[in-house]
Amino acid sequence: MFNSLEPNKIFAITSRAPKYVLFLFVIVFSIGLTEALFLSPEDYKQSHSVRIMYVHVPSAWISLGIFSIIAFLSILSFIFKNKNFPLISKSLAPSGFVFNIIALVTGAIWGKPTWGTWWAWDARITSMLILALFYSMYLLSWKIFKNDEKAVKISSIIAILGVINVPIIKFSVNWWSTLHQSSSVKILSTTTIHTSMLIPLAIMTAAFTLFSILIFLMKYNTELIKIKNKGLDRL
């Protein structure tokens, strides 16, 4: 069923793709930065501090998205015993973690002029911090357990347990009365953000997605070469 996803078959693509993805990322990111820093309007309430949204929101979205993919692949690897899924998950985790940290740090920077504090034990912020802890545990499990099978099992359990936190993060602003504002960009109902801000946000999200794909490809290729190195030892 997943034969076409065999590492040996897709290495030809994954080894060539990074340079094209990097090229695309540089173009989209440059446009995004120009829009976000210079062309987009300031907010009538938050003034220029609203520009932090263009790095904070895409980072939060991508870190949540990556963790959800990792958990989904972990469930699949348990069911189908596919060896490539843990490899994909392991390669996705570093960029997901870094985006999580960016979301927390830029959120704190945004919080100071908006709320008057760098940090609050608010439901959204705290659940994002818990996500960072799950990312840390996931990455550490690959470092600690040298036995690959054990590492796959432990890291998958961490990812599956951690994904329970994802809907909590998403709906925390609706379930609890929090300091963090509710979502302005909605899929199922009308988005409450103006197009002049929505376009830069979309461009920055595209750029951040390209960056995470780039890191994923580089990490995935590294992991494949690592496996081949072990193979050479056995010859």
Partner 1 sequence: MINEIFLMNGYGIYVWSAFSFTLMSFGSLFFITKLQFLKERRKFVQKFGLLNGEAIRVAKSQKINKQILEGVLSSKI
From the list 25, 54, 22, the residue with the least C-alpha distance to 38 is 54
Give the shortest CB-185-to-partner 1 separation in angstroms: 19
Give the shortest CB-190-to-partner 1 separation in angstroms: 28
Give the shortest CB-12-to-partner 1 separation in angstroms: 6
- Nearer Cβ to partner 1 (160/179): 179
Task: Give Cβ neighbours of residue 129 (< 8 Å, ≥ 6 apart).
Answer: 104
Give the shortest CB-109-to-partner 1 separation in angstroms: 5
- Nearer Cβ to partner 1 (1/231): 231
- Nearer Cβ to partner 1 (85/211): 211
DSSP 47: B
Q: What is the dihedral of CA 180, 185, 189, 194, to 10 degrees?
A: 110
Which residues make up the interface to partner 1 (CB under 8 A)?
7-8, 11-12, 15, 33, 36-38, 42, 47-49, 51-52, 55-56, 59, 94-95, 98, 101-102, 105-106, 109-110, 112-113, 211, 214-215, 218-219, 221-222, 224-226, 228-229, 231-233, 235
> Residue 162 in contact with residue 67, Cβ under 8 Å?
yes
- Nearer Cβ to partner 1 (154/214): 214
Rounded Cα–Cα distance for residues 133 and 97 (Å): 9
Task: Give Cβ neighbours of residue 200 (< 8 Å, ≥ 6 apart).
Answer: 32, 35, 36, 39, 40, 54
- Nearer Cβ to partner 1 (110/134): 110
Angle at CA of residue 60, ends 55 and 66, nearest 5°: 120
- Nearer Cβ to partner 1 (110/138): 110
Find where tokens 């072990």 sit. Answer: 230
Give the shortest CB-134-to-partner 1 separation in angstroms: 19
> Residue 161 in contact with residue 134, Cβ under 8 Å?
yes
Give the shortest CB-214-to-partner 1 separation in angstroms: 8
- Nearer Cβ to partner 1 (27/37): 37
Rounded Cα–Cα distance for residues 55 and 110 (Å): 11
From the list 47, 61, 69, 72, the residue with the least C-alpha distance to 102 is 61
Give the shortest CB-98-to-partner 1 separation in angstroms: 5
DSSP 163: T
